[in-house]
Structure 1
Amino acid sequence: MINATGHSLTIATNLGSAVWTASAVNLYHLWPLSLRVTLFLCGVLVALANMALTRKLSWRRFLGNLLFITPFSYLIQLFTQIILHLGINQLPLVVRVITDIFGILCVALATSIYQRANIVLHPNDDFMQILRFRYLKGNATIAQMVHYIPPVLIMLGTFLFTGRLFAVNIGTLICLFFQGSFIGFFDQHAFKHLKHYGIAGLTQVKPVIRPARSVNGK
């Protein structure tokens, strides 16, 4: 609910959505599918990529990703329509910018909470978590930057095809450079006793090689 509300605020204000959401919005304007279906299809593709990154065929992870994005995609479309109906775009620009940034912080807060609980994750955030703990030594900021490469490439492709960009603005730039830091901040300050559970399978611990002992113990 927190995550869907945050994304919907960024989409409705049209001042820059989270990077993955912005890429889905641009795809949505490229083909006749609804935003809900576009978000769902993007989630499925990322869920498949997650299994490739973990090098493990985990149906629990894949089905968990689908379990998240099915209601999530619907709620984003529903909440966006409600927020637009309330007339958010009639508000002064400063208020809309603040609202957009608030939406970004909601996304960061939600991501921090459910990544640590690690029960069911959005595929995009699972993707970021896999990069963070399997390949980037737990660094949230760098992991967030790296996991933004695919949606940036998608937006570049849609822009070359249509000549237009949607849902890309100041909020997108904030997400691109600071969302990982926001998540790291909430990791430390929101529900402090909630740790990162179930990441042992993601971390790669090198075996300790001890020198062989001689027969006389020397």
Structure 2
Amino acid sequence: MYQANGKPTIFGDFVLLLVSIMINSLGNALTVSLNLGSAMWTASAVNLSHLFPVSLGNMLLLEGVAVVAVNAVLLHHADWHRMLGNFCFMIPFSYLVSGLAALMVRSGINSLPLIPRVLLDIVGIMLIAAGISIYQRINLILHPNDDLMQIIRFRFLHGNAILAQLVAYATPITIIIITLIVKHTIWAVNIGTLVALIFQGSFIATSDKWVFRKLKHQRL
């Protein structure tokens, strides 16, 4: 799966990309189904789906489209190859998260005691970070939200994953606050969201070192 120089083969790139998408989708679905706090972008999409009559899968897709436009502004040009990759990633990803979350809810995961649910929610946040770490290092195609973090990280913050994640979270935090003001209710924001806000950048940086350790950042 790796070449002699340590870089993945073309086959390795696609295998690692597929693994990373599945890990991330599973983590997001876990946090959504438990309703004990999702990662920030997912939480903002859940809140928007309650604010407007749009399904979670469609809202994740619409949110991604908006971020693609923001990324183009930050790059000062429309990178069509990059944008196509964003769409190729987020369309199946959005509906995979929505479908897996629905299956987990039907499985009765919310009938578990509180402490196991909290622990599973944190595991979900860690899975999201691990998935992001893998496909950001492959850098073949990215979800636009994670592409935003990648742009901020390497173009403006000298590779600092922790600070870049916090800066990228400004938008979903604003969305959640606006939804709270309008609806006077908040969804998918709980202990898991706080863990994601404080630690997800650290989880990504840690995953960079320990998950598929031979895999380095490519195509920057």
- For normalisation by structure 1, the TM-score amounts to 0.90
Report the counterpart of residue 167 of structure 2 in structure 1. 146
Partner residue of 2:29 out of 1, 5, 8: 8
Q: Which runs of 5+ in 2 are unaligned?
A: 1-21
Report the counterpart of residue 41 of structure 1 in structure 2. 62
Shift of 1:160: 0.5
Q: Which runs of 5+ in 1 are unaligned?
A: 200-218
Looking at structure 2, the residues matched to 80 and 192 of structure 1 have their Cα atoms a distance apart, in angstroms, of 30
SS in 2 for 1:9: helix
Shift of 1:192: 1.4
Looking at structure 1, the residues matched to 190 and 55 of structure 2 have their Cα atoms a distance apart, in angstroms, of 22
Looking at structure 1, the residues matched to 146 and 209 of structure 2 have their Cα atoms a distance apart, in angstroms, of 18
Deviations 1:182-202 (A, max 9, x none): 000010111111111111xxx
Deviations 1:82-112 (A, max 9, x none): 1001100100001101110111111000000
**CA-based RMSD:** 0.6
Looking at structure 1, the residues matched to 96 and 69 of structure 2 have their Cα atoms a distance apart, in angstroms, of 23
Shift of 1:57: 1.5
Looking at structure 1, the residues matched to 103 and 197 of structure 2 have their Cα atoms a distance apart, in angstroms, of 27
Give the percent of matched residue pairs that are identical in Structure 1 and Structure 2.
52
Report the counterpart of residue 14 of structure 2 in structure 1. none
Looking at structure 2, the residues matched to 44 and 64 of structure 1 have their Cα atoms a distance apart, in angstroms, of 12
Deviations 1:103-161 (A, max 9, x none): 11110000000000000101000000000000001000000000000000001101000
Report the counterpart of residue 43 of structure 2 in structure 1. 22
Looking at structure 2, the residues matched to 57 and 126 of structure 1 have their Cα atoms a distance apart, in angstroms, of 14
Report the counterpart of residue 204 of structure 1 in structure 2. none
Report the counterpart of residue 82 of structure 1 in structure 2. 103
Looking at structure 1, the residues matched to 107 and 78 of structure 2 have their Cα atoms a distance apart, in angstroms, of 44
Report the counterpart of residue 205 of structure 1 in structure 2. none
Amino acid at match of 1:125: D
Aligned residues: 199
Amino acid at match of 2:117: R
Q: Detail structure 1 runs of 4+ shifted over 4 Å in the superposition.
A: none
Looking at structure 2, the residues matched to 174 and 13 of structure 1 have their Cα atoms a distance apart, in angstroms, of 15
- For normalisation by structure 2, the TM-score amounts to 0.89
Task: Pick the structure with greater CA Rg.
Answer: 1
* Greater Cα shift, 189-198 or 159-168: 189-198
Shift of 1:54: 1.1
Higher normalized helix content (fraction of residues): 2
